[in-house]
Structure formats: C-alpha cells, structure tokens
Structure 1
C-alpha cells in the first residue's frame, strides 16, 4: 500500500483501518469499561468516514511496537493511536520514522511532537486533592496505575505535590488497574495504625475491588474510609454505596481522538487538543 497522502487535498482511505495496539492483560481489559466507551466514541467519528478501528491486545510494549512495525511494513493500517505511553517511549520514534499518521492520548511532552489529545490529568488531580482537603481529610491515599506509564507518573507527582501544598500527608500504593490491586491496597491499608481517611484510585475497577474488600474487613464506607474512583463508569453509579469518581465523558474523549486522527489522516499540522479536565462527582463513598 502506498504511503498515506498528505496536504490539504488528502483524505482518509475508506476501508483501511487505523490501528490501536493496546498493552493490557486480557482479564483486566475485560473488566475495564473505559476502552469500550473510548472506542465507541472514536468509531462515532471514524466509521462514517469509512475508517474502521483495528484493536490488537498485546502483553508488552515490545509486542505493541512489533505489531506496529508489521502494520507499517505490510500497509495494513493508514494510521495509529498511541495510548498509555512510557517516558521516552520507543513507539513515538517508531511512528515518526514510519511516517504513519498518528494521535497520542497523553501529555504533549510524552507525545514528542506528534498530534496529541491530553486529558489534563494534573489539573484533575489538583482539583480532587483540594476537594478532599476541604472536606476535612488530612491523610490521603493514592492507588496508582502501572508505575512506568507517563500519565501514572504525572498523577502521582501531582497528587504528592498538591497534598504537600495543602500540608496534608500521603500514602501511595502501587496498582495495575485490576480488581485484585484494589483488594491488595485495602488489605495493606487496614494493617496501618495511622491510615489514610480517603483514597483515590487510578481507575474504577480497582476502586470497586477496594469497596468489596472494605466490607469483608468490617470497614465502613465512608465513615471509616472514603473511596474515590477515576473514570466514572456505570459500575461506580451502581455500587453500594455509589462510588464518588473523578468523572469525564470517555466517549467524548474518543470523539476528540477520532477528529484528531481524521485531521492527521488528512495532513493537518500536528498540535495538541486539551480535553476538558475530569471533575470530582461526589456520591455515597465520600
């Protein structure tokens, strides 16, 4: 397949997909509503243009890079979406060398000059910490996503800096977006003599695992412990008690990425689109 056309007269190639090589454990992906909603939002924009989305789930970053090389070598896709990048990620250089149109879901620094849609996780985390402090919490917990991911680093650093700015203490736990990670965090937290009174989780599945474990351990939510999820899926709203969540419209994010990718396929100049930052929605767990 010839390289995609560029310039003002370029158009997406109907019938040729754009690729998303997603590094995820299959079990975690099956339980995580985020990507179902995200891809639905992208397809709302791209499918009417005749551009399907090709999703490939892989186990490692290296496998994702290998898959993208194969896509480019065999002309199987006309563009790619990059998400959950690492600092200095090899996939950025790979896409740049290949010339494939691309959109990064991430901060502009990690995107390395590629078109990006940035969810402003730093702004959202600053707002969450401020609201928790205003609610009277003086010791905050954070259950982070995979430690090597750039957006995890941004959230963790912002959480710690914002808490320090308000003069409150922090305890951080490592997670991997799985329900089991939420259970492990609460088990570790329950063993502390001086534990946080509010915990922010980097996704909804970990928060739900934590909620189930608090009941098993005899902790009351929110009387003993407040729980806050990130990504406000229907699972948060149906939980008992309903989970407070750092909420943004994931399908709208997918639409923003779809429009950005359509622009990249048409030769539009690289730039960064800032999605509206997520905001804390208070429910029964806070």
Structure 2
C-alpha cells in the first residue's frame, strides 16, 4: 500500500439497530478520524453480528492486505482476538482495560473506578438500594463496572441488584422491568450501562407507574444528546469519547510505526447531574 492509502480497521460486533441507536461509536469515530485523516490514514469499519464473522474479517483483511492496523474493542478476559492479530501480523491497539490487552498498546478507561463514583453519587443522595442494568456480561468492561459498583455498594452497606441488558432500548426496558417487578425489593435508583438502555428504563418506570426522579432515579453510562433531550433529562457518567478516539488514533499510528508498547490513559469520567436523579422519597 502507498502512504496515502493506509487504513486502520475497526470491527464492531453489534446488531445494526443497536449500533444505530448508540452514540458512543459515532463519537469515537469522529475522534479517530480527526487524527488519522491528516496522517493520510482512512478508517475501514465492518459491522458483524457474531464473533466468528469478526475473526473471519481480520483473517480476510490480513490475507488481502486491506489494513495496516486494527483497533480491538469489547474484549473479554483471555480474549482470542489478541492472539489472532499477533499471528496475522496486524499491528493492534486495544480499547479497554490493560488486563485484557496481553501486552498490546491500550487506551484505558477506568471502568471500575468510574462505577464506584456512580455509587458514591447515589449514596450521597441517600439511596440504599440500587440497580445495575449491565451490558453483555462477556465484555471485560461490563465485568469491571459491575465489580466497581458491587465493591462500593458493599463498603457503603447498600444493596445492589443486577439485571443483564444488551445495549438496546428494548433490552434496557426489559432489564429495568425485571429489577422493578420481580426482585421482592425495589431499587430507588438504577445505573444503566449506556444511554439507550437508560431511555428504555424511563419507559419501564412509566409502565410501573413510577415517577422519575420522585420514585426512581436513573443514571446513564455515556452522556449523549439523547440524555440531554430525554424527559426528564438523564444524569450521566460522561466521558470525552472523541478524545478517547483521538488517543486510539495516536496509539495505532505509533504501533504501525513500530513504537514501544504503551498504555494511554483516557481522560477521567465524571457525573453530569440532570433532572433524573434526586434523594429517594422518605
């Protein structure tokens, strides 16, 4: 490939409707391209529905010399994709926790630490029973968030109830209904692992006859325009996602140039407080 035709590949294992609803990767790509484009590098994105298709994509890209490097996302512990890209000779950067990277360069967001901050915020409002609607449980960042929430809740003597979601609106609604209707004790606050599921949670609260925030506080992971436009506007754990994309671009350029392995620390997240959270009713 010539310098002008260099490409970085990104494979997203998502149902198309989920990816269309989710703002995170749109913002991430904006940051990625902001750095890569001036360097003469384009981004090749492939959306697949399962792991086998993702692995086949990397193998095809390598065999056809379609990309000069890849960004790996949504890794789990001992993830097979790390060894795969090494065998294929594809320079790679991991977006996630360094524990999943197995020696690859990493752009790290402290999911466990930020999850503890979310519980700290809710505890400060006086909540004693909280819910967590997770993303897919195989993802390391899902496990880290859940662990952070559980650890902080235990330290504060809070009860944490967990239900599994899939990042979709319908998945968030169903998981919220599970927490609100089937657990015997009802949470007074729920943290959702993305903004879209939190919107589904607002619908679930209304279906149960609950008012947000008077009866139920709602916190979204990942701030977005959807959080700001929701009724009520959603409090959110806000990340500078475009900045994370820029860091990933710098990391993959460095890796493609043969630079030493490095961990790139993403900017810290913080709670943006809006109308969906308040102290629980006494």
**Shorter-chain TM-score range:** over 0.9
CA positional deviation for 1:131? 1.3
CA positional deviation for 1:63? 1.2
Correspondence 1:1-286 to 2 at 5 A: 13-191=3-181, 192-286=183-277
Q: Gapped runs of 5+ residues in structure 2?
A: 278-282
CA positional deviation for 1:14? 2.3
CA positional deviation for 1:216? 3.1
Q: Gapped runs of 5+ residues in structure 1?
A: 2-11
8 A contact 2:163–2:176 mirrored in 1: no
Q: TM-score, normalising length from structure 1?
A: 0.94
8 A contact 2:95–2:108 mirrored in 1: yes
How many residue pairs end up in the alignment? 276
CA positional deviation for 1:262? 1.2
**Looking at both structures, which has the greater relative contact order when contacts are Cα pairs under 8 Å and sequence separation is at least 6?**
1
8 A contact 1:232–1:246 mirrored in 2: yes
Q: TM-score, normalising length from structure 2?
A: 0.95
- Whole-angstrom CA distance in 1 between matches of 2:112 and 2:175: 23
CA positional deviation for 1:188? 1.7
8 A contact 1:121–1:277 mirrored in 2: no
Give the secondary-structure state (helix, strand or coil) at the position aligned to 2:26: helix
8 A contact 2:162–2:179 mirrored in 1: no
- Whole-angstrom CA distance in 2 between matches of 1:132 and 1:234: 22
Match of 1:9 in 2: none
- Whole-angstrom CA distance in 1 between matches of 2:226 and 2:94: 27
Instruction: Spell out, residue by residue over 1:61-92, the C-alpha distance to the aligned partner (whole angstroms, 9 max, x if none).
Output: 12111110111111110000100012111110
- Whole-angstrom CA distance in 2 between matches of 1:222 and 1:247: 19
8 A contact 2:4–2:40 mirrored in 1: yes
Give the secondary-structure state (helix, strand or coil) at the position aligned to 1:199: strand
Give the secondary-structure state (helix, strand or coil) at the position aligned to 1:14: helix
Instruction: Spell out, residue by residue over 1:97-138, the C-alpha distance to the aligned partner (whole angstroms, 9 max, x if none).
Output: 222111100111101100000111111111111111111011
